Amino acid sequence: MQLRNLSSGSRQLSLFEHYINDIVRGKWFIAYTVLLFALIYAVLMFSFETSQAVVGVMNLVIFIVPAVGLFFTSMYYYSRREFMEFILSQPVSRTFVYFSFYLAMSLAMIFSFILGVSVPMFIQGFAPEAIKMSLWGVLLNMIFVAISLMVSVLADDRVRGLGTVLLLWFFFTIFYDAVLTAVIIYFRDYPIEKFIPFVIAINPVDDFRISTLLSTDIAAMLGYSGAVIKHFFGRFFGVLYVAFLQSLWVLIPFLVGLWRFRKKDF
Amino acid sequence: MLINILIAGTVVVCPDCDVRGLKQAVAIAQPYDTILVKEGHYTEDSIIVDKPGLVIMGEGEAVIDANHKWEAILVIADSVTIKGLTVMNVPVSYIHDHAGIKFDGVSGCVVENNTLINNFFAIYLAHSENCLVKDNYIKSNATREMAAGNGIHAWYCHDLYITGNTVIQHRDGIYFEFVDNSFIEGNYSTKNLRYGLHFMFSDRDVYSHNTFVNNGAGTAVMYSRLISLYNNIFEKNWGGASYGILLKEIYDCKIYNNIFRENTVGLYMENCNRTPIEHNDFIGNGWALRVMANSQENMVSQNNFIDNMFEVATNSRRSFNKFNKNYWSKYNGYDLDRDGIGDIPYRPVSLTSYLIENYEAISLMLESYFLKLLDLLEKIAPSINPVGLIDREPLMEKVKHD
C-alpha cells in the first residue's frame, strides 16, 4: 500500500507519512509516551510548589529525553535498514529519503514530548512553565535525533552505532559536567566565572538545566556564578550565542549525516 | 516632682480649639501636663518637645503631617510619653536623619500605639535609656536602599524594651547599634529593603518571639556578646545574599527554639563562638547552616533539619564545633537497639556542599547528574568526604520542642 503511494506524485510527503505512521504506531513509541506521561504526572502530583515541580520535571527530562532521542532513533534506523535500501532502489532522491526520516523521527519525538511532558504540566496547572518546557523539548529532540541519525549513518555496524550513541549520552548528561567541574577546581585561582558561561552553554543539556534553574527559586543559590550567568543569558548577545550553538548542534550532525548518506554505498 | 504630677493639667489640641497645633500646645504646657490631640489633620513639622513628663495622647485619627518639610517630633526631655498619634510624610534627607518621632538624650520615654506612615526614619532613639516602644505600626513606601531609613533605629542606648511593633518596607526594620541590656520581643518585620533586624555592637540583649519574613537580606547580628535569641521565626528571606540570620563576630550567645523556614541560608556563622544552637527547626532552606571555619566551640544539638537542599556547609576540612543528637531528614540509617539514636553516624556536609563552598562556580552544576552521582558515591563510601564534621548520635524521630 505504501509502495503504491511512493510511485505516485508527492513522493517525499508519502515517505514521511509512512515513517511517522510506522513510528507512532510502534509499541516502543507508545510505551515511551505513556511512561513519560505517568512519570511526569507522578512528579507533579508530589510537588507542592512551582519551583519544586519545574525542577522535578527538568530532572526527568535531562535524563530521559537525550537517552530516548539517541537510542530510539538509532534502533529504528537499524531495524528499518532493509526497507531503506529497498526505497533507495526506487527513483527517489537520497536527500528526500534522509530528510523524510529525520523529520518524521523528530516530529514523533516532539509529539511524544508534548503528550508526555507538556500535557501533564498543563493539566496540573503549570501552563507558563509548560510552554517554556515545550520549546526546550522541541530543541533537545531535534538535536539528539540529528546526532543519533548521523552516528547511525556513519556506523554500518549496529553494535558500534549503539555503543557510540551510549557514549554520547554519557558525554552529554554526565561526562561534560565532570570535565567542567574538574576545570573549575583546577583553575580555581583564575577568574573563570567570565569564561564558564561560554563553555557551559555548549552543552544543550546544561543550557536547558541552567535556564530552568534560573527561572526558579534555586537561582538564588547559584551565588556569584549564577549572577554572572544570569547576566550573560539575560543579554541579547547571550541569547544569540546560545541560539547559535544550539542550531549548530542540529545543523552540523544533520549535514554530516546527509553528506555521508548521499555518498554511502548501501 | 510628685507635686508636679499631682497638679498636672491637660492641654487640648483640636482643629477648632484655641490651641490648633502640637507645637503651640508644647509651648503653653507645664512639665508633666497631658496634651490631648483630638482627631484631625495637623500639618506641622519640627515639633520640639523640651518639657519633661509630657504625655502626648492622640484621640481618634490624630495625624501629624510633616508634609515632606522636616522631621516631625523631636523629644529632648525625659519621661515623655507619646501615644496614639499618626505621624506621616517625614522627608528623605542625605544630611539629617529625619525621623517621625526622635528621642535624643532622654530617659524613660514611652512610644505606644502610634502609626507611622511614609517616613524616612520612623522611631529614632539616640543616647537614650529606659524606653518602651510598644505596639506601633510602622510602614514606609521606600523602594531604594540609599533613599530609605530604618523603622526603629536605636543608637547608643541601653535598657530599651521594644515589643509588639510591626515594621514594613523600611531600609532596616529594627536597627541596633551600641544598644545594651535591651529586649526586642514579639515584633513583626517584613518587606524591608535590607535587613529585618540589623544589630551591631550591642551586648546582653534578648530577642524573642519576633517574626522576620521576606526581608531583602534577612537579619544580621554582628559584633555582639551575650545575646539570647529564642522563639523567633525567620522565614522566606530568599535571594542571592539573604540569610535567616547572619552571625558575625558573636561570642557567648544562646540560640534556641527558633524556626528557620525557606531562607536561602538559614543560619550563617562567621566567627561565631561558644554559642549553643539548640531546639531549632530548619525547614526547607537552601542551606540550613553555613559554618565558616573561624566559628568555634559552638554546640549544635537537638535541632530538626527537615527538607533542606544542603544541611550544613563549611569551608574547612576540620570541624571546630560539636554536632550531636540532631534530627536530619536526609539520614537513612537504622536503629537496631531501639533507643531512638541511629546506629551509624551521620555526616551532614555532602560532598556537593563542600565543593560549592570551596569552589563557588561549581554551584552552576546544581541538579546535574554528575553531582548526583558524586553524592551517591559518597553515601556508599563516606571516606571520600573530606570533612570531619559528624553527628555521632543522629536522632531517628523529630525532636519535639517544649
Among A204, A136, A201, which residue's Cα sits nearest to residue A171? A204
Residue B6 has pLDDT above 60, yes or no: no
Give the chain A residue nearest B369 (alpha carbons): A174
Residue B359 C-alpha, separation from nearest chain A C-alpha, in angstroms: 6
Quick check: A191 contacting B, CB < 8 Å?
A: no
Q: What percent of chain B has pLDDT over 70?
A: 97
Contact present, A56 and A130 (Cβ < 8 Å): no
Distance separating alpha carbons of residues B334 and B11, to the nearest angstrom:
74
Q: Do B355 and A181 touch (CB under 8 A)?
A: yes
| Amino acid identity, position B89 | N
At A66-107, the pLDDT tens digits run: 999 999 999 999 999 999 989 888 888 899 999 999 999 999
Q: Do A206 and B368 touch (CB under 8 A)?
A: yes
For chain A, the residue count is 266
pLDDT attached to residue B43: 93
Cα A172 off chain centre by: 11
Residues of A in contact with B355 (CB under 8 A): 181, 185
Among B241, B245, B230, B329, which residue's Cα sits nearest to residue B291? B245
CA torsion sign, A51 to A198 to A196 to A165?
A: positive
Query: Pairing state of beta strands B259-261 and B233-235?
Result: parallel
pLDDT attached to residue A196: 86
At B174-217, the pLDDT tens digits run: 999 999 999 999 999 999 999 999 999 999 999 999 999 999 89
Residue A95 C-alpha, separation from nearest chain B C-alpha, in angstroms: 37
Residues of B in contact with A185 (CB under 8 A): 355, 359, 362
Quick check: A58 contacting B, CB < 8 Å?
A: yes
What are the residue boundaries of the structural domains of chain B, listed by start? 1-216
Pick among 2.60.120.380, 2.160.20.10, 2.60.40.420, 2.60.120.10: CATH of B1-216: 2.160.20.10
The total domain count for chain A is: 1
Between residues B261 and B16, which one has the greater pLDDT? B261
Q: Do B370 and A178 touch (CB under 8 A)?
A: yes
b (16+ CB within 10 A) / e for B107-124: bbbbbbebbbbbbbbbbb
Quick check: B236 contacting A, CB < 8 Å?
A: no
Residue B287 C-alpha, separation from nearest chain A C-alpha, in angstroms: 9
Distance separating alpha carbons of residues B390 and B198, to the nearest angstrom:
32
Q: What percent of chain B has pLDDT over 90?
A: 71
At B255-294, the pLDDT tens digits run: 999 999 999 999 999 999 999 999 999 999 999 999 998 9
Residue A162 belongs to domain spanning? 2-263
Query: Pairing state of beta strands B327-328 and B129-134?
Result: unpaired
Among A228, A249, A36, which residue's Cα sits nearest to residue A140? A249
Question: Which of A170, A184, A199 best tests the B interface by mutation, with the highest count of B CBs <10 A?
Answer: A184
Q: Is B174 helix (H, G, I), strand (E, B) or coil?
A: strand
Q: Is B217 helix (H, G, I), strand (E, B) or coil?
A: coil
Chain A to chain B Cβ contacts (< 8 Å): 76
**Has the ipTM of the complex gone over 0.95?**
no
- Dihedral of the alpha carbons of B224, B230, B234, B239, in degrees to the nearest 10: 30
Contact present, B49 and B56 (Cβ < 8 Å): yes
Quick check: B371 contacting A, CB < 8 Å?
A: yes
Quick check: A229 contacting B, CB < 8 Å?
A: yes
Q: Do B366 and A223 touch (CB under 8 A)?
A: no
- What the block records as the C-alpha cell of A76 is 529504528
